[in-house]
Amino acid sequence: MKIDSTDHAILEALQERARISNVELADRVHLSESACLRRVRALEEAGVIAGYSAMVDPVRVGLPSAVFVQLTLQRQDQTDLDAFEEAVQNIPEVMECYLMTGEFDYLLRIVVSDASDYERVHRQHLTRLPGVARVQSSFTLRTVRKANVLPIR
């Protein structure tokens, strides 16, 4: 799908405020309401808009600590990677998981209430993941910048 400047404006507005009404969105991007709705639906159908969600403040729901975990596997063959990736899907505290290049194989962002809660996740989940050889954890001290709006050009 070719994305033009109007689509960019729609995507920017929806990233900033997904619950904006179609009337407000159409006005903001200078389209008729029907044309705006058609474009939003086309962006959804093309998978450019992957979905909508609420941003929940982790501190207010008792998950103020973020931990970045570097995991190294014993082997990196496809079977081991697949088994690890399937198993990590079942750990609710894992918010993100990335296959990496470099010194370790995976980088995870985990949310927990405190160090004791992380110890539980580490003991019950991380060390039991298939093929894990090494786990290295780093607690965040403070979030300096966290963007939710992609810089679409």
pLDDT per residue over 22-58, tens digit each? 999 999 999 999 999 999 999 999 999 999 999 999 9
Are 69 and 102 in the same domain?
yes
The confidence score (pLDDT) of residue 79 equals 96
Query: Is 146 within the bounds of a domain?
Result: no
Are 94 and 129 in the same domain?
yes
Query: Is 151 within the bounds of a domain?
Result: no
Query: Is 52 within the bounds of a domain?
Result: no
Distance, CA of 115 to CA of 132 (rounded, Å)? 21
Distance, CA of 87 to CA of 35 (rounded, Å)? 44
The confidence score (pLDDT) of residue 153 equals 82
Distance, CA of 109 to CA of 85 (rounded, Å)? 14
**Tally of domains in the chain:** 2
- Domain span at residue 20 reads 5-45
67-91 pLDDT, tens digit per residue, is 999 999 999 999 999 999 999 999 9
98-133 pLDDT, tens digit per residue, is 999 999 999 999 999 999 999 999 999 999 999 999
Question: What is residue 83's three-state secondary structure?
Answer: helix
